[in-house]
A and B are shown apart, each in its own frame.
Chain A
């Protein structure tokens, strides 16, 4: 009863802050629309190479151009000066130019992901062009297909983005919004009057977690609806599974925010502390790069962190239509983190 009142009052006050509420709901949608439009045709970022115009193009050059087209690399042919200017601006990932009797490929060290992939394709094309010129049999290429880890659907970049946005959104809401609001309210003394009442801390905190949980569910529903209406992205799995995962994840990361807020006295201090947690969590989650080459102990430690198993389960259900069955261990990790964080939050919570 006390919990319900607390929860209802949180919502009532939240609804009165129209601007904050509007942007809370609008921001993830704006992100999705932005990324979705940029990568609309589905494949994610495209690979391209800048080709410096040969001074006197020969048969070798036209054979290479043909082969480059065959490996589906986007080629931009520019005069020397223009190509150099583009390179200097840092916009070129890979630049191909004549060098004596052969060629030279320059890769931009700042854009290694695209440059590396491009280099592979350029070399393939060069082998094909050489074979064609010498009349040898055409080298055979291994067929490539792009799939999601669940082997079910070919990856559509916007579809890949959507669960990531859902996940990122609730992590940032938990770590930044919730914790920050908590610290700044405490700084302004908004909780002091509560401290002299018999209201238990855990009810106050749980009321806030539940409020944020419902906010996130609504946010997710809006995002899913926009994804479906605008980009035709559909949830491949069951909505119940999706709801369960979202609820678990939200609870976990909200509790994180509340727990961290107990360690900061000022909003400035909180910003530093939350970044200290947020960036390792993001970078080591396996979302941006795999940790295959990291030391074994680090890999074990990272496997115990909550973000990666949460996102894996979310994508498995949303993109691949999988069930939660295979993700029990991962979700258990998320749940344990959530409970531990909530216990810590209650323990560290101060009214003033």
Chain B
């Protein structure tokens, strides 16, 4: 069990109107949880689907567990587990039947009962798929991704659309996968999820990887470990004039201004003084640690959620 679980070089995929993946290089080590973070349309899903063999690439090399699609496609399929962004099963199949059926496609398989327990679907084991809630369907999709006891698991936005409690329990399942020694590659546009789960991250935007590293290193590389926020009642006013007066970058976000700074202690008195003399009608001041969201904002000038 040595070497990388996944190695990608120069991956490129263009659709008629957009270049979805534009020269992506990635390397994922065995046993790590690796996250692809980026806004919708960044190319995360296309990248994942190329790796999973669902979409063909225009250019680039992929090595999965030391294997290539051209030569060892069936072996790759047997050793990876996949949760698609939306797993559409037949309406009237039950979780138990789906796990039995999909398990039967693989040489090596885990027991249906064990998997149902892992994702806490025992009570819904014999209900039709169409009657399951979104969270239950998502959990079934996760169980299906583990049906063959895979070495490498791909999860495409596993928690999108789930309530906070369901997200937490899904996180637990991912942590268990890591504890069992599996390599996990997941996509998400939740920065808290990326921070909580991932050993390493690649931030994607417009088909390119714009930063790679551990969550902590990505944030500390920013050199702006803190952000001062001024909140307003209603929409925040245009900050250009104030930014010039303060001689400091100010980002307007809905009802607040964000002022990234390496030294909040020095900034704060100046800020309050300037705000007072300019009669800025702010309500509150917050100081917070920088997050991956700020990393993304800093690198692209845009918010993850936009």
Contacts and interface: CB of A to CB of B under 8 A. Distances in A.
Interface of A: 1-2, 5, 9, 12-13, 16-17, 188-190, 192-193, 195-199, 351-352
B105 A199 contact: yes
Contact of B89 (A17, A190, A196, A198): A190
A189 B86 contact: yes
Contact of A196 (B53, B90, B104): B53
Nearest to A204: B105
Given A9-B97, A189-B88, A196-B54, A2 B104 contact: yes
Nearest to A17: B92
Contact of B101 (A9, A17, A192): A9
A2, A193, A351 — most chain B CB neighbours (10 Å) = A193
Interface in B174-202: none
Contact of A198 (B77, B86, B97, B128): B77
B74 to A, nearest CB: 5
Given A5-B104, A12-B97, A195 B89 contact: no
Contacts of A5: 101, 104
Q: How large is the interface on B (under 10, 10 to 19, 20 to 34, 35 or more residues)?
A: 20 to 34
Main secondary structure of the interface of B (DSSP, over half): loop
A134 B88 CA distance: 85
A7 to B, nearest CB: 12
B169 interface: no
B97 A190 contact: no
15 contacts: A5-B104, A9-B97, A9-B101, A12-B97, A13-B90, A189-B88, A190-B90, A192-B87, A193-B82, A193-B84, A193-B89, A193-B102, A198-B77, A199-B105, A351-B54
B105 A196 contact: no
Nearest to B145: A196
Contact of B105 (A13, A17, A190, A197): A197
Nearest 9 Cβ contacts at the A-B interface: A16-B92, A196-B82, A197-B105, A198-B77, A189-B88, A199-B105, A198-B78, A198-B74, A5-B104
B92 A193 contact: no
Given A9-B101, A12-B97, A13-B93, A192 B77 contact: no
A2 B104 CA distance: 7
Given A5-B104, A9-B97, A195 B53 contact: yes
Nearest to B52: A196
A190 B93 CA distance: 12
Nearest to B82: A196
Contacts of A12: 97
Contact of B88 (A1, A188, A196): A188
Contacts of B93: 9, 13
A196 B105 CA distance: 11
Interface string B40-84: 000000000000111000000000000000000010011010101
Contacts of A352: 54
A13 B53 CA distance: 28
B52, B90, B107 — most chain A CB neighbours (10 Å) = B90
A199 B73 CA distance: 12
A193 B144 contact: yes
Interface string B6-29: 000000000000000000000000
Contact of A195 (B54, B74, B78): B54
